[in-house]
Amino acid sequence: MYDFEPEKVRQFLESHNVRRAAIQLPPGLRRNLREIIRTFKEAEVEAVVLSDSCYGACDLADVKAKRLGCDALIHYGHADMGLRTVLPTLFVEARMKIDPRGAIELALPELEGKRWGVATTVQHIEHLPRIMKFLADNGIESVIGNPGPRARYPGQVLGCDWGCVRSIAGEIDGILYVGTGRFHPLGMVLATGKEVVAANPISGSYERVRGFEDFIKKRAAVVGRASSYEDFYVVSSVKPGQRRLGLARKVVRELRQNGLNAELLVADEITPETVEDFPEGGVVSVACPRIPIDDVERFKRPVLTPFEARVMMGKAELEPYELDEIEEGDA
């Protein structure tokens, strides 16, 4: 299903004279370990598989790999977002071979008569020219936005960078998203105010995502719960592409100026365990913008984004909702 680019890996290992390589895999690719590791065995390179969490190219383990005596890091499943590394690093994007046009064909009646932005994740990025041609052959106009600060390719969205769809919001009626899950479609609706048709190449089906009333209600409830606290923890991650200590300090300052107690916490991964042993209090996360949204059910304590913290302090309205995004140079 995925292209693990064994030839490119082999050449990289050879050209850097690698004897020991660290392998970093997101959870969804770990079941493919045998296939991935074959290339390293054939090249007689010792593979050190890092099994800590890994959700994005923001989370490079080059420093850890160096400490383990590795000569290189091979990071699977994400596109390079331009972070500097202390070891030669190869990104294997693990693109999916599945042709998404079957799912898009089913969605054609929804698409007719409108102009669509097309967006996807790196796994399906190489299908974009084919998708645009397919739409044009069916009389549907489409456009692809330039990548935002953290994305690498035109048409690519990340949970912390909606720049590519925001840049074309003024010239489209809606967005055709190719991929799985609900987070990206919802993010694009919030970032642009446009309807999203999400075509899932794996299930071969599609879904329309329009309103975000439920989302706003849920976030309003989290902000409401947080407002009952006087103590807050502002948590920042040390992951190289999630580190926003400047923002964390600013949020701490603002909370204190509003008469609240606020402490800065720093951790690698932000989980319920990161905060639960500290005295009772609300949490503001300045790490991956997905944490407060995706992990809302996991945390017993209310976890806010920096924008939601401002809403709680009466400095902003919840609508229009501002998604947290990581800017270049924010870390």
Give me the residues that bind ligand SF4 (CB under 6 A), please: 55-58, 158-160, 241-242, 288, 290, 326
Beta bridge partners of 22: 48, 73
In Å, how far from its chain's centre is CA 143? Answer: 22
Nearest distance in Å: CB 242, ligand SF4: 5
Strands 174-178 and 195-200: parallel
Nearest distance in Å: CB 331, ligand SF4: 10
Cα distances (Å, whole numbers) of residue 327 to 240, 289, 324: 13, 12, 10
For residue 325, which of 186, 148, 176 has the smallest C-alpha distance? 148
Residue whose structure tokens are 């229009």: 320
Nearer to ligand SF4, 57 or 303 (CB): 57
Buried b (16+ CB within 10 A) or exposed e, 230-239: eebbbbbbeb
Nearer to ligand SF4, 284 or 326 (CB): 326
Nearest distance in Å: CB 218, ligand SF4: 19
Contacts of 321 (CB under 8 A, 6+ apart): 190, 212, 215, 216, 219, 307
Nearer to ligand SF4, 71 or 308 (CB): 308
Nearest distance in Å: CB 29, ligand SF4: 14
Nearest distance in Å: CB 192, ligand SF4: 17
Question: Could you check whether the bond before residue 201 is cis, i.e. omega within 30 degrees of 0?
Answer: no
Nearer to ligand SF4, 197 or 326 (CB): 326
* CA–CA dist 134, 144 (Å, integer): 14
Nearer to ligand SF4, 6 or 149 (CB): 149
Nearer to ligand SF4, 39 or 180 (CB): 180
Nearest distance in Å: CB 325, ligand SF4: 9
